[in-house]
A and B are shown apart, each in its own frame.
Chain A
Amino acid sequence: MKKVFHVMYDDDDTLLVAARELVAKGIHINEVYSPFPVHGIDPVIGIKRTRLAITSFMYAMTGTSLAILGMWYFMISDWPMNIGGKPSFSMLENIPAFIPVTFEFSVLCGAHGMAITYLLRNGTLPGMPATNPDPRTTDDMFVIEITTDTNSMDEKKLEAAIKKTALFELSIKDVK
């Protein structure tokens, strides 16, 4: 049995101000829903920088090595052929011809790997239900979500604190 406060603001700046006030009071903000990225909110509500970029790099490296390995196997190791007299004896001699494919394949793996990871981590996949508390949050409204269970403060105090901010609308729900 907990209570969920959805505090709605009609402007990103006011949202930012309010968030700062609340956090200053030691209130923990669960989530912020906004129609567009509100710059500066992440540190306030304690969201760390994502590591997706690193995954992308790793995927790309996998692609690179796969490409090089594959081409070495196809052209040098498994079935070397005399194609236009070009050398098929050693990887070193052939490598210039392999650069374009290597690059493309790295990009392919990097981009797709990261995109898939991104969608999985978000849990945004085809057919997923929308979880934003209010349809307006994809238009021009900004919602801060606060729950009692993540806050030591009791709900009266919370409500009071929230009411102090320049909010536009407040909805309180009971959640099992």
Chain B
Amino acid sequence: MQKESAIREPLILGHKTYKDITDDVIRPITGPAPLGWKIMITISSIIAIYGVAQILYLIGTGIGVWGLNKTVGWAWDITNFVWWVGIGHAGTLISAVLLLFRQKWRMAINRSAEAMTIFAVIMAAVFPGIHMGRIWLAYFVFPLPNQFGSLWVNFNSPLLWDVFAISTYFSVSLVFWYIGLIPDFATIRDRMIKPIPKKIYSILSFGWSGRAKHWNRFEEVSLVLAGIATPLVFSVHSIVSMDFATAIIPGWHTTIFPPYFVSGAVFSGFAMVQTLMLIMRKAFKLESYIHVKHVEYMNIVIIVTGSIVGVAYLTELFISWYSGVEYESYAFINRFSGPYSMAYWTMMTCNVISPQLFWFKKIRRSLVATFILSIVVNIGMWFERYVIIVTSLHRDYLPSSWGEFIPTATDIGIFVGTLGIFSTLFLLFTRYFPVLALNELKTILKSSGESYKNKQDK
């Protein structure tokens, strides 16, 4: 059993035993639903239904119900897509990268972070679907043989790369997440008394019985999946960024995009994790598992990625001037001085300035500040995508076709709707799934549990 230096703060507070961990995690599942949860799910499911209605209206009537036009062919749809995918990345990053780096503190948060990933990616996948003029022909994007003989897809198109990237990313994260869930489901299964839940959980647990051999394989598989998922995360957002980078529109045509988008994704993802986590730990009394130390660690990640993003913004500006290309330089001048400059400055404030506050230990360790800033960051990241897409498109090469984009109620409705669907799914998760990787936690109890550490000191 590995030892850990005594200076390190314990990751599990309170004098917990294995049993306590189990009970703490099982409690929300076995116990009655708290009132707060009931209220929240009611609200979020109402919003979700509204969103679904808006989507059906869109599909029934035509893309015209959005504010798009001949000049701006993408706006909120793809903005939301990139935003959601970005959020998704944190989950995989936490569980995969931190696992590779053997970061124990991940164990408290990776389960729900991964859940967030899954749901965020589902939300993201909605937009490429509904933004199509003819969604009922969406299967055209797959290289299917058809009655016309040879009619294949275009593997040169970044959009097609997206199809592969997103579907791979979604299914792999799902598998990764579920493999981790199986033993925990088994634990729940064995705690359940009522027959029906017991049945359900035993089906979900695939008859896991914790044999040594299985644990051996389990750890191997998790490790390998982590190893695969890590490059996957980077590749996915790089490919998303190529949708823009490979285009010729000034403001899109930039080689800096892949790293810039990936760090942006991690940035917004961690912020979203913070938001959810801080609510969850209160709601389910998981303070002893998710505490200030975890928050601080994540805030440090936010500073780092936030700063990378900030540097990327400045680099863009510099290059646009340095390139001497009139279209390029105008595109960026237009960003911060044109009709959409408000969006640009919102982005700058939220993404570059606000995370720098985390340099102060007080703020970094303050839960309230973290909560507020995490939301601020996600607003900023939404605007980043909006700025990149809309301000680049609305004034490109020919001034004659310069236009403007004004969102309609449907644009807004669908975005809000996805927020509703997302939170509904997440709330269901917190109620019926083990929100902590409880069996993994047990492995670190002795190395990082408060009581045991104290023992070591003696």
Q: Which residues of A contact B (CB under 8 A)?
A: 13, 31-42, 45, 47, 49-50, 52-53, 56, 60, 70-71, 74-75, 78-79, 83-84, 86, 94, 97-98, 100-101, 103-105, 107-108, 110-112, 114-115, 118-119, 121-132, 135-140
Contacts and interface: CB of A to CB of B under 8 A. Distances in A.
Given A35-B442, A107-B228, A140-B22, A124 B182 contact: yes
B386 to A, nearest CB: 25
A105 B168 CA distance: 7
Nearest to A81: B154
A127 B210 contact: no
Given A36-B443, A98-B155, A135-B190, A49 B225 contact: no
A132 B209 contact: yes
B216 A50 contact: yes
A70 B182 CA distance: 35
Contact of B152 (A39, A75, A136): A75
B428 interface: no
Given A101-B161, A114-B224, A115-B179, A33 B217 contact: no
B63 interface: no
B221 A114 contact: yes
Contact of B1 (A39, A83, A100, A139): A39
B143 interface: yes
Contact of B439 (A36, A70, A86): A36
Given A111-B228, A112-B175, A34 B215 contact: yes
B212 A47 contact: yes
B172 A118 contact: no
A15 to B, nearest CB: 10
A107 B234 CA distance: 13
Decide if the interface of chain B is mainly helix, strand, loop or mixed: helix
Contacts of B210: 33-36, 132, 137-138
A51 B72 CA distance: 52
Contacts of A112: 171-172, 175
A81 B153 CA distance: 11
A138 B220 contact: no
Interface in B142-163: 143, 150-156, 160-161
Interface of B: 1, 17-19, 22, 143, 150-156, 160-161, 164-165, 167-168, 171-172, 175-176, 179, 182-183, 186-187, 189-191, 202-221, 223-225, 228-229, 231-232, 235, 239, 242, 439-440, 442-443
B220 to A, nearest CB: 5
Nearest to A29: B212
A132 B212 CA distance: 11
A130 B190 contact: yes
Contacts of B143: 70, 74
A42 B212 contact: yes
Contacts of A103: 231, 235
A151 B452 CA distance: 37
A107 B161 CA distance: 14
B187 A50 contact: no
Nearest to B2: A39
B209 A110 contact: no
Nearest to B215: A37
Contact of B164 (A100, A122, A124): A100
Given A32-B212, A130-B205, A140-B19, A115 B175 contact: yes
- The 10 A-B pairs at the shortest CB distance, nearest first, are namely A128-B207, A140-B18, A135-B190, A132-B209, A37-B215, A79-B150, A124-B206, A74-B152, A32-B212, A104-B164
A41 B1 CA distance: 11
Contacts of A94: 155-156
A35 B439 contact: yes
A121 B341 CA distance: 58
Given A104-B165, A124-B206, A83 B211 contact: no
Contact of B168 (A36, A98, A107, A121): A107
B164 A130 contact: no
B29 to A, nearest CB: 14
B216 A49 contact: yes
A13 B22 CA distance: 19
B206 A125 contact: yes
